[in-house]
Amino acid sequence: MTSWRDFGVTETLRETLPGWVVDLASVLALFGDLLVIVPVLGMLYLADVARRLHSEDEPTPLARDRTVFVIATVFGGLALVVLLKGVLALPRPPAAWHAIEASEHGFPSGHAMAATVCWGALAVWLEVGRRRTRFVAAASLIAIVAFSRLALGVHYLTDVVASVAFGVAYLAAVAVLADRDPVRTFGVAVAIAVVATVVTAGESRAILALTGTVGALVGWRVVEWSPVRQRLLAAVE
């Protein structure tokens, strides 16, 4: 039976793409995976703290609100992926098309949405390089991840297109609701993670999203706690 989400794209790609392209796709998909996204957020935070510690100005706080806001935004988006998968719970393409092992639910595409939230947030709110360059780079990464999931046979075209739309809508909503306030943004992220945990009845990925989000919030507040901040400042003097 043909799915209403199937426009023939995934099947065509699986039948026509050479093996080396599929192998490459499994690597490129990592740009929408926690294995890349979480370390990128960690390096972003550490780089910001290191820069502030070595600044001649008084580094209070150690991490800029803009940086923490971006990190909180991405964690909230990752939690939203889990929530939407739990609510919608639509199946993947036939297993015979899969080039890799995949989880049960295929809509939305977690990789495509995570890539949109992560690289989109970095492009919109970070002040590194030219804005146009950041947007082109983010759009390229998102497109690469979306294509890779189709090439691997684990999503339909509708899945990845909708996931990018969900990610963009989420970023727009956070921009309005949180107004770049990191505390408020973390509040939104934790709330989404809690709802995802309840909706999925404590599914492991929801627990991971909740733990990661709360852990990031607590870690940020601990580092900014005055005694800890003073120790860090003393250590670099």
Q: Could you tell me if 157 and 10 are in contact, meaning their C-beta atoms sit under 8 angstroms apart?
A: yes
Residue/partner pairs of 92-97 with CB below 8 Å, 24 or more apart:
92/154, 92/155, 93/3, 93/6, 93/10, 93/11, 93/153, 93/154, 93/155, 93/156, 97/10, 97/11, 97/14, 97/153, 97/154
Give CA angle at 99 (93, 105), nearest 5°: 35
**206 compared with 57, residue with greater pLDDT:** 206
DSSP state of 172: H
Average pLDDT on 9-31 reads: 93
Tally of residues, the chain: 237
Hey, how many other C-beta atoms are within 10 angstroms of the C-beta on 198? 12
pLDDT at 115: 97
Confidence band of 80 (pLDDT split at 50, 70, 90) = very high
> What are 83-99's pLDDT values in tens digits?
999 998 888 999 889 99
Rounded to whole angstroms, the maximal C-alpha distance in the chain is: 68
Q: Is the pLDDT of residue 174 over 90?
A: yes
- Residues 153, 147: Cα–Cα separation, whole Å: 10
Instruction: Give the global pTM.
Output: 0.91
Structure tokens at 157: 């075209």
pLDDT at 5: 72
**112 compared with 232, residue with greater pLDDT:** 112
Backbone angles phi, psi at 13, to 5 degrees: -65, -45
Torsion of CA 122, 124, 129, 130, to 10 degrees: 150
Q: Is the pLDDT of residue 1 over 50?
A: no
- Residues 98, 39: Cα–Cα separation, whole Å: 27
From residue 160, alpha-carbon distances to 143, 166, 170, 217 in Å are: 9, 10, 15, 30
